[in-house]
Structure 1
Amino acid sequence: MSKDLDPGFPTGDYFDHPPAPFFDSEELLRWSFYRAVIAEFIATLLFLYVGVLTVIGSQSQDSAAVCGGVGVQGIAWAFGGTIFVLVYCTAGISGGHINPAVTFGLFLGRKVSLVRAVLYIMAQCLGAICGCGLVKSLKKANFNTFSGGATELADGFSPSAGLAAEIIGTFVLVYTVFSATDPKRKARDSHVPVLAPLPIGFAVFVVNLATIPVTGAGINPARSFGSAVMFNNHKAWDNHWIFWVGPFIGAAMAATYHEFVLRGGAAKTLKSFKTSSV
Structure 2
Amino acid sequence: MPISSVAVGNRDEVLHPSALKAALAEFISTLIFVFAGQGSGMAYARLTGDGPATPAGLVSAALAHAFALFVAVSVGANISGGHVNPAVTFGAFVGGNITLLRGLLYWAAQLLGSAAACLLLRFSTGGLATGTFALSSGVGVWNAFVLEIVMTFGLVYTVYATAIDPKKGTLGTIAPLAIGLVVGANILVGGAFDGASMNPAVSFGPALVSWSWESHWVYWAGPLVGGGLAGLVYELIFISHSHEQLPATDY
The two structures have a TM-score, normalised by structure 1, of 0.79
1:1-51 Cα distance to aligned partner (Å, 9 max, x none): xxxxxxxxxxxxxxxxx9474323331342111000111111111111111
Task: Tell me the SS of whatever aligns to 1:213.
Answer: coil
Q: Following superposition, which runs of at least 4 residues in structure 1 exceed 6 angstroms of deviation?
A: none
1:166-201 Cα distance to aligned partner (Å, 9 max, x none): 1111111000000012444324xx4x6742111111
1:212-251 aligned within 5 A: 212-232=191-211, 236-251=212-227
1:205 to 184, 194, 198: 184
CA gap 1:92/1:20 in 2 versus in 1, 3 angstroms: farther
AA of the residue aligned to 2:201: A
Q: Distance in 2 between matches of 1:137 and 1:253?
A: 38
Give the structure with higher Rg (CA): 1
Q: Distance in 1 between matches of 2:152 and 2:81?
A: 18
Q: Distance in 1 between matches of 2:185 and 2:38?
A: 18
Segments of 5+ residues of structure 1 without an aligned counterpart are 1-17, 266-278
Aligned to 2:152: 170
AA of the residue aligned to 1:174: V
Task: Tell me the SS of whatever aligns to 1:97.
Answer: coil
How far has the Cα of 1:93 moved from its partner?
Answer: 0.2
Q: Distance in 2 between matches of 1:54 and 1:258?
A: 33
Q: Distance in 2 between matches of 1:243 and 1:28?
A: 27
Q: In the alignment, is the contact (CA less than 8 A) between 2:58 and 2:188 conserved in 1?
A: yes
Q: What's the RMSD between the two structures over aligned residues?
A: 2.2
Q: Distance in 1 between matches of 2:111 and 2:59?
A: 26
Q: Distance in 2 between matches of 1:184 and 1:129?
A: 33
1:1-278 aligned within 5 A: 19=5, 21-63=7-49, 71-143=57-129, 148-187=130-169, 190=170, 194-232=173-211, 236-264=212-240
Aligned length: 237
How far has the Cα of 1:72 moved from its partner?
Answer: 0.7
Q: Distance in 1 between matches of 2:93 and 2:172?
A: 27
Q: Distance in 2 between matches of 1:196 and 1:222?
A: 21
The two structures have a TM-score, normalised by structure 2, of 0.88
Identity, in percent, stands at 34
AA of the residue aligned to 1:179: A
AA of the residue aligned to 1:31: P
Segments of 5+ residues of structure 2 without an aligned counterpart are 242-251
